[in-house]
Amino acid sequence: MAAIPEIQPAVQAAPKSLSPGAEAWRRLRRNPVAVISGLFIVVLVLVAICAPLFTHYAYDFLDTKNYNSLPANPDSHHILGTDGLGEDVLSRLLYGARVSLGVSLVVVIVEVLVGVTLGLTAGFYGGKTDVALMRLTDVMFAFPDILLAIMLSAIVRSGSQALPPWSSFLVLFFALGIVGWPGLARLVRGQALALREKEYIEAARAIGVKNHHIIFRHLLPNLLSPIIVQVTQDIAGVILAEATLSFLGLGVQPPYPSWGRMIEDALVYKETHPLLLLAPGLLLALTVMAFNFFGDALRDALDPRLRE
């Protein structure tokens, strides 16, 4: 009798599991809003860095033969025309992007250094340290951010009339950096309170690991995801706050360009030369929306509760 062939059970290969970082990147790439926002941010950063390659004029160049010239003016070599002082609009927009992104980068670095440090300290040690640091945070939360920034900027500027125009950047760093850290500190503190009760933290304490080693090797790496998401959204807030202060005359001072300053200068030409108002306003709106949308998409991609 012929031997009956043995039937091998079909074994289906288990799908390969991705690391949390690879899974977040996969989900981020599948989000069209994240892709469009990310591409816009990348292009904006590259254009701001390489601004001299896209325009033939410096941001403080004055064309005395073309005041308020329109882009269609055949006698003007300015792609987007000039403003009331003869400054090239395109150059001011590109260098203004460099100013906005540079200010936001420095301010966010200050926020991270102060907010993460205070939040980790309060959340890990608890007790009187937590109470003292959180009361300081509550005091900062008692004042509206932009109003406090306006007040600080006005106070500093009132006593520094003789300082050069570049000192306005230091005023912005000071004013916006002070009002920006409390939200990040509160976020980090809440996450640290939850993480310090985990088993691996208790095990590290039981074997005598020093506190600073636990904070930097165990707590901080697990807090990077919420910190990155918060920082991405804070950049949009800083850009908008810088434009607001510059619009009110308390931010970047001439001859340095700023989108907020360009909007304020263009108000008197809103009927005769509306492009002076529309160009910086539209670019500011698109930049803020891009960072906000990208931050929301990044939060969804890094949220472990949304993983399949």
Cβ within 8 Å of residue 187, ≥6 positions away: 115, 119, 226, 227, 230
Domain boundaries, given as residue ranges, for the chain: 22-306
256-306: per-residue pLDDT in tens? Answer: 889 999 899 888 888 888 888 899 999 999 999 999 999 888 888 876 555
Asked whether residue 2 carries a pLDDT value surpassing 70, the answer given is no
Top pLDDT among 103 and 6 is at 103
Top pLDDT among 114 and 11 is at 114
pLDDT of residue 74: 45
172-230: per-residue pLDDT in tens? Answer: 888 888 888 888 999 999 989 888 888 888 888 888 888 888 888 888 888 888 898 89
- Diameter over CA atoms, the chain: 109
pLDDT of residue 159: 60
pLDDT of residue 289: 94
Burial 85-99 (b: 16+ CB within 10 A, else e): ebbbbbbbbbbbbbb
Cβ-contact 105, 44 below 8 angstroms? no
As assigned by CATH, the class of the 22-306 domain is mainly alpha
Asked whether residue 78 carries a pLDDT value surpassing 80, the answer given is no
Query: What CA dihedral angle connects 264, 270, 274 and 279, to 10 degrees?
Result: 20
24-41: per-residue pLDDT in tens? Answer: 778 888 889 999 999 999
Alpha carbons 82 and 84: distance in angstroms, whole number: 7
Asked whether residue 76 carries a pLDDT value surpassing 60, the answer given is no
CA distances from 280 to 16, 184, 267 (A): 48, 29, 12
pLDDT of residue 70: 57
Structure tokens at 188: 């980090």
pLDDT of residue 13: 47
Eight-state DSSP code of residue 73: -
The pTM score is: 0.84
113-172: per-residue pLDDT in tens? Answer: 999 999 999 988 888 888 999 998 888 888 777 888 888 777 777 765 556 667 778 888
231-254: per-residue pLDDT in tens? Answer: 998 999 999 999 998 898 888 888
